[in-house]
Chain A
Amino acid sequence: MGKYIRKRLLQAIPVVFGITLLTFFIMKLAPGGPLGGMISPRSSSEALQRAQEKLGLNQPIIVQYWNWLKELVQGNFGYSTFNGQNVLEMILERLPATLLLTVTSFVFSFVVGVPLGVYSATHKYSKGDYGLTVFSFIGISIPSFFFGMGMIYIFAMKLKWFPTSGFGSALFRGTGFQLFLHKLRYLVMPALVMSLANLSSVMRFARSSMIETLNQDYIRTARAKGLAERAVIYRHALKNSLIPVITIFGQSIPNLFGGAYITEKVFGWPGMGLLGVDAIGNRDYQVLMGLTLFTAILVLPGNLLADIMYSAVDPRIRY
């Protein structure tokens, strides 16, 4: 196992290199360029040239890439062209809020989605199953901005159960548990909105995987042993049916760190997604590159974690 992880980490090196290449050149292909956000029709061409020189944008593109990569290796993600802040610091500053939101919605999707999927599978073609199927199709189909704004309209503006946006009020003075409750009220809606699609797909995966597992010969064996139906489902079938669910789990890990651009924007959540949306508006190329890179690189440990989890669940998989 240790050897396998080392090997995977070594394999990651060329992949990370590829990621930097793609990130950099895709950004370069984008029209406008970083200066587009700084100039006005009245800017003189000398001023433009000076700015270009200052940022090194007049150098050949390969040199620019090399310079960027050199700094990157030393942990320097560059500086925002918009406000001059260190990009990595900006990202790390936003990370906790994003993680709070994404991890909450992630845990919610799996903790709720898997049991619902199991229910659907064990009550196949019942009213409950049809209800959940309809629910999941709606969940997958509704765009998050629509769902988010609908939630704000109903639960924040009409019913006034939850605040419309943000992450805590500047006027709130409570501490401890009260502060926790205060923050929780801000978390509920964005977390639900973010969960909906993920929960729906987890549920569908868990359902079909469970149905397939329940048709296996070893399930009949478990019943022939005299096990109660609960033990058959939750002990013998669940572990087997989780294998495909782990795949979505692994695939979702990068999203945890990428944040949710749209959900965060809709709810004014001060996380990385909002940082990204603002960076797009500001033509802040450095910040966008930093965010893209950061998220893309996290795919690798995500996949590794999923592979390790496979072997934890399925003894036939050994590395």
Chain B
Amino acid sequence: MSLLEVRNLKTYFYTDAGVGKAVDDISFTLDRGKTLGIVGESGCGKSVTSLSIMRLVDTTVGRYEGGEIIFDGRDILKLPEREMQKLRGDKLSMIFQEPMTSLNPVFTVGYQISESLMLHKGMDKKQAWQRSIELLEMVGIPEPARRVDEYPHQLSGGMRQRVMIAMALSGDPELLIADEPTTALDVTIQAQILALLKSLQEQLNMAIIIITHDLGVIAEMADEVAVMYAGDIVEMAPTRELFSDPKHPYTIGLMNSIPDIEENAERLRTLEGLVPSLYDMPAGCRFAPRCQFACEQCSKSRIGLTALGGGRQVRCRRFEQ
């Protein structure tokens, strides 16, 4: 059985501007120890997908309109909030994009890690503090016994992201969701953090969902990739296949916009047009307005995912039978 199975998840936002279908009927599965990459432009629903799995979507405006998220055999969307709290930070952890602002500035690093340990592992203060030092050491922070006493502002961005990872690891997670974990960091630090995540994954056999707009990160980390566009998964494939043979016109566009080191281009290639507004989606294929292969039929009705074999799926009329 898969560790995580997302089936037909729909997360909508209800605002004055209308109904925003941030995540609209997506499905995927993830096995223990594997990494799924979710890639897409800003606003495509990748972060909302991750927040939905954590059930941290702001319920004053957002609602789960359907679907199931089966984690370890239980449907997360049906769990009472108390049960969900036991899961969060324990078996199900998340790290965020902004290490600079994701740690509470008024508590020490040690306190923030200990808090999680005391909550989920039933440790007392002293044990938790000791374990925090070990965790800091595990994520490669030098002089952990000294750093544990420091406040977030005394650490660099990379160090803070390591602290976030240490905190996420405190509950021995089975699934770690990393939402753009390296976007805010320098390139050299990025590589370090990715290497760290990989080695921790091997040690702890955890599954990772890595969310990014950076295809380089995907190539580095993921076993399988889901390409998201405007709330839809438009293509799913094992990483190697996706890069060597992208099927969906959007994926092809993304691949083409990676600058080639051999090529001496004057301008960077981009995808023409804009992502449609969440509140005003095209009726048929959501990519049709920007697609070079689009024909009249594309904009008429919704297009389903077509399985192509070899674990590949694509949402495009050209592959429909």
Chain A residues proximal to chain B, CB less than 8 Å:
216-218, 220-228, 236, 239-240, 313-316
Q: In the complex, which of the residues A217, A226, A236 contacts B85, with contact meaning CB atoms closer than 8 Å?
A: A226
Contacts of B89 in A (CB 8 A): 224-227
Contacts of B87 in A (CB 8 A): 226
Contact B119 A236 (CB under 8 A): no
Contacts of B108 in A (CB 8 A): 315
Q: Which residue of A lies closest to B105 (CB)?
A: A316
Please, how many angstroms separate the alpha-carbon atoms of A310 and B164 in the complex?
A: 26
With A313-B106, A315-B153, A316-B153 known as contacts, the answer to whether A223 contacts B88 (CB < 8 A) is yes
- Interface: B86 (CB within 8 A): yes
With A220-B96, A313-B106 known as contacts, the answer to whether A225 contacts B101 (CB < 8 A) is no
- Interface: B182 (CB within 8 A): no
- Interface: B224 (CB within 8 A): no
Contact B104 A225 (CB under 8 A): no
Contact A218 B104 (CB under 8 A): yes
Please, how many angstroms separate the alpha-carbon atoms of A222 and B167 in the complex?
A: 10
- The majority secondary structure among interface residues of chain A is helix
Q: In the complex, which of the residues B101, B116, B120, B153 contacts A216, with contact meaning CB atoms closer than 8 Å?
A: B101
Which 9 residue pairs of A and B lie closest in terms of their CB atoms, listed nearest first?
Answer: A226-B89, A226-B88, A225-B89, A217-B101, A218-B104, A315-B151, A217-B102, A224-B94, A226-B85
Q: 20 A-B pairs, CB-CB below 8 angstroms?
A: A216-B101, A217-B101, A220-B102, A221-B103, A221-B104, A221-B164, A224-B56, A224-B89, A225-B89, A225-B167, A226-B85, A226-B86, A226-B116, A227-B119, A239-B106, A240-B104, A313-B106, A315-B106, A315-B108, A316-B151
- Interface: B174 (CB within 8 A): no
Contacts of B116 in A (CB 8 A): 225-226
| B13 to A: closest C-beta gap in Å | 16
- Name the residue in B85, B102, B106, B120 with the highest tally of chain A Cβ atoms < 10 Å from its Cβ: B106
Contacts of B105 in A (CB 8 A): 218, 240, 314-316
| B238 to A: closest C-beta gap in Å | 29
Please, how many angstroms separate the alpha-carbon atoms of A218 and B106 in the complex?
A: 10
| A223 to B: closest C-beta gap in Å | 6
Contact A221 B102 (CB under 8 A): yes
With A217-B96, A221-B96 known as contacts, the answer to whether A226 contacts B102 (CB < 8 A) is no
